[in-house]
Chains A and B, each alone.
Chain A
């Protein structure tokens, strides 16, 4: 484990989090704790509020009410929404990663793969060109992108490669928490499997915490230890991932689980 923290204290504490779009509910009264090294899956159909929740807990969207506490690197718990804009941006650049469903939302498409990875390092103050390039090379290797593609732009990459590049860009600064929004959405099944396996290995090796939004229960089963099921903006069931999937309690969860195609 490269991340050293007190695992007994939550990394993130969410209480009664609500976001309203006017009169419409985005997410309502959501509470959970995320501990260091834990992967939490948030599942539900489109419109269930899972992406709104992800955006609220990652401070990309203002909350309407409730609190999101985060354990800073020095161990202090901080209310995210009380941070200054500069502090919040610093968190996003250093301590957090955000993997978007569409890699184009998380990459700079008009600069090289190496620059996409190196840029995050420069944003945290690294200036030595050789070291930055070396780190970029190392990370491209870890996400299985060949060395000789380092100077190519992501526009020339396949969908799966772009997604792996986005992951490298996010992990190069050694974040403690990664938010993922449908990280395998839109990819071919074989490409998905490779990405999932890669993510699973990285999360394990680095001791990362992650919140993964997905509508794909197989992705949740493979990546997460705990799961929350959302419907109409609320959490309707939560627990160990394999228990929620093997012994679902809520009518809606039973419907979701029974709708999986068996292969």
Chain B
């Protein structure tokens, strides 16, 4: 199975110009790969840089050093240096992302929020809404909420909208940032089953799961991110 996502010697630090330009090292020397049909879980203590790694792959954090390689539309792209338009296209066709929190858009219904990536990918709007509705039902999201904007939903309800949004498009790579953190047992099991189906379909998954049960159920490998810690003295 060829690697769908390769990180090679990736480093990230933050320079805080408002704090006398101090540099906060986050991670360095991050090298690993994720194959198709595999779920790799990032482990390690809070603050070790797990989310930062996901955000570098998604592109909303810049990369200080190293390469992040994906196959996109049949050719290899290095996301560490890709221009904004390429990153946007990669997000549309190659890398899906379930963020920890839903960024709610005023007035747009939960159904439309979740169906949007499918519609953008060219799926007919009615078909996209049908697929979204069945996934909402599977995630036990009460039907009376579907037509409402998610801004007023509970954390668990918003998270299920977010999960549907990320899982619906069939993209080769899926990033999961604590997708089950505010779900109850029943819905955690649904998400575990959905992850298993993605693996079956050959998707490469990279995720963060604090919940040990979920992690054990989905992880093929756990990568301890604390091994990539860069001490401030070395920076």
Contacts and interface: CB of A to CB of B under 8 A. Distances in A.
Contacts of A222: 105
Contacts of A112: none
A227 B158 CA distance: 27
B60 A243 contact: yes
A246 B55 CA distance: 9
B107 A193 contact: yes
Interface in B68-89: 84-85, 87-88
Given A226-B84, A251-B17, A251-B18, A197 B108 contact: yes
A73 B105 CA distance: 33
Interface string B84-116: 110110000000000000010111100000000
Contact of A240 (B14, B16, B18, B87): B87
Contact of B59 (A194, A240, A258): A240
B17 A254 contact: yes
Contacts of B88: 225, 240
B106 A196 contact: yes
B32 interface: no
B62 A247 contact: yes
Contact of B60 (A35, A200, A246): A246
Contact of B18 (A200, A242, A254): A254
B61 interface: yes
Nearest to B87: A240
A200 B59 CA distance: 22
Interface in A160-219: 193-194, 196-197, 200
Contact of B84 (A196, A225, A249, A258): A225
B67 to A, nearest CB: 17
A35 B88 CA distance: 13
Nearest to B58: A242
A38 B80 CA distance: 22
A250 B87 CA distance: 21
B234 to A, nearest CB: 22
A184 B219 CA distance: 46
Interface string B1-40: 0000000000000111110000000000000000000000
B107 A194 contact: yes
A242 B84 CA distance: 10
B232 to A, nearest CB: 19
B18 to A, nearest CB: 6
A255 interface: yes
B62 A249 contact: yes
B18 A255 contact: yes
Interface in A208-263: 221-222, 225-226, 239-240, 242-243, 246-247, 249-251, 254-255, 258
Nearest to A40: B84
A177 B61 CA distance: 29
Contacts of B61: 243, 246-247
A243 B107 contact: no
A242 B60 CA distance: 5
Given A196-B106, A197-B106, A222-B105, A243 B16 contact: no
Contacts of A193: 106-107
Contacts of A200: 105
Contacts of A38: 85
Given A240-B84, A240-B87, A254-B18, A247 B60 contact: yes
15 contacts: A35-B85, A197-B107, A197-B108, A222-B105, A240-B84, A240-B88, A243-B59, A243-B61, A246-B60, A246-B61, A247-B14, A247-B60, A249-B15, A251-B18, A254-B17
**Which 10 pairs of residues, A with B, have the shortest CB-CB distance?**
A251-B17, A193-B106, A242-B60, A240-B84, A197-B107, A247-B61, A246-B60, A243-B60, A226-B84, A247-B62
Given A197-B108, A226-B84, A246-B60, 6 more contacts: A193-B106, A196-B106, A242-B59, A251-B17, A254-B17, A258-B18
Interface of B: 14-18, 55, 59-62, 84-85, 87-88, 103, 105-108
